[in-house]
């Protein structure tokens, strides 16, 4: 076990040598200035791909999900996928979209009306949690975070969900050199509903990934399957649709009751921990 952990740590460290550094602002103010302006959006759905995958690689779950829901959602719903190393770019995009009056500033009211969903796979799942934390520093609520086989880089922490997130869910598989975090927790359980930590065992229920690379097939077959598991990504789509439905329009982290029940979702291929 210790040897396997060392091998895994070495593999991650080698990958990090080629990873680009991420920088972001920690500034917090009631009115935050932004030079670039763009049209506002009522709903914002941001996803992150894992590893060194491109944001437009159609063989990966986050990209396929975005392509499916983008034409089906309302025109004022913004859906976009980023590489996990582009968290700062995603953050700046959200800031511009929240600037409803296009005055170059985010008022407290504009922040309070944010309706944001963040999701990702592998390093992308960790990026989703870190982006939620970035938004917290600006006082911006997040409706939902979804982590799929979440893997944090050495300097990151993806297990604690910040209290600006109304609901969070974690899907993971436990096998192989690279496998996801098995548990997430709320920084403040009175403000964040953890919908579940759901185990997916691809040893028992394998998924075919015909477009996967030979490297993934040989070295990370189980982690790879979380990218192309159509049933899993269909469940995530259902979660996103439920959180963005009109009946959840008032759901924000500040208004979330600790006694409230999460939306029901059929999780037929997973098992809650």
- What are the pLDDT digits (tens) for 65-113? 988 888 888 788 999 999 989 999 999 999 999 988 888 889 999 998 8
CA angle (176, 178, 183) in 5-degree steps: 100
CATH of the domain at 207: 3.40.50
For residue 20, tell me if it sits in a domain: no
For residue 5, tell me if it sits in a domain: no
CA distance linking residue 185 with residue 193, whole number of Å: 9
- What are the pLDDT digits (tens) for 208-234? 877 766 666 667 667 767 777 889 988
Contact residues for 63 (Cβ-Cβ < 8 A; gap 6+): 47, 49, 55, 56, 57, 81
List Cα–Cα distances, 187 to 50, 154, 190, in angstroms.
24, 20, 9
Confidence of residue 132 (pLDDT cuts 50, 70, 90): very high
pLDDT at 1: 47
Residue 11: strand, helix, or coil: helix
pLDDT at 265: 37
- What are the pLDDT digits (tens) for 233-250? 889 999 999 999 865 544
Give me the chain's average pLDDT, please.
76
Contact at 8 Å (CB) between 242 and 265?
Answer: yes
For residue 211, tell me if it sits in a domain: yes
Question: For the CA atoms of the chain, what is the radius of gyration?
Answer: 18
Contact at 8 Å (CB) between 126 and 152?
Answer: yes
Confidence of residue 147 (pLDDT cuts 50, 70, 90): very high
For residue 6, tell me if it sits in a domain: no
Domain count, the chain: 1
pLDDT at 266: 37
Residues 127-133 have a mean pLDDT of 96
For residue 184, tell me if it sits in a domain: yes
For residue 10, tell me if it sits in a domain: no
- What are the pLDDT digits (tens) for 26-58? 333 334 444 334 466 789 999 999 767 666 666
Residues 54-63 have a mean pLDDT of 70
Residues 14-37 have a mean pLDDT of 38
For residue 37, tell me if it sits in a domain: yes
Confidence of residue 20 (pLDDT cuts 50, 70, 90): very low
pLDDT at 223: 75
For residue 8, tell me if it sits in a domain: no
Cross-strand pairs, 80: 46
Residue 171 belongs to domain spanning: 29-272
């Amino acid at each position: 076990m210790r040897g396997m952990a060392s091998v895994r740590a070495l593999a991650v460290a080698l990958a990090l040598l080629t990873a680009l550094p991420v920088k972001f602002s920690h500034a917090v103010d009631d009115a935050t200035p932004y030079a670039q302006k763009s049209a506002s959006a009522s709903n914002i759905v941001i996803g992150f791909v894992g590893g060194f995958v491109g944001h437009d690689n159609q063989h990966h779950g986050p990209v396929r999900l975005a392509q499916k829901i983008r034409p089906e959602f309302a025109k004022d719903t913004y859906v976009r996928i980023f590489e996990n190393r582009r968290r700062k770019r995603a953050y700046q995009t959200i800031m511009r979209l929240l600037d409803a009056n296009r005055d170059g500033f985010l008022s407290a009211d504009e922040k309070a009306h944010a309706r944001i969903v963040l999701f990702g796979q592998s390093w992308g799942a960790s990026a989703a949690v870190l982006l939620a934390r970035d938004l917290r520093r600006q006082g911006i609520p997040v409706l939902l975070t979804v982590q799929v086989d979440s893997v944090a880089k050495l300097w990151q922490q993806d297990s604690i969900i910040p209290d600006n997130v109304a609901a969070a869910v974690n899907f993971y598989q436990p096998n192989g050199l690279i496998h996801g975090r098995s548990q997430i927790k709320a920084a403040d359980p009175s403000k964040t509903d953890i919908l579940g930590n759901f185990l997916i065992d691809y040893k028992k229920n394998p998924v075919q990934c015909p477009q996967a690379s030979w490297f993934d097939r040989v070295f990370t077959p189980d982690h790879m399957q979380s990218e192309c598991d159509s049933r899993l990504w269909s469940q995530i789509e259902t979660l996103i649709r439920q959180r963005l439905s009109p009946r959840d329009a008032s759901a924000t982290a500040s208004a979330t009751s600790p006694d409230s029940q999460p939306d029901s979702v059929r999780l037929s291929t997973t098992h809650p921990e």
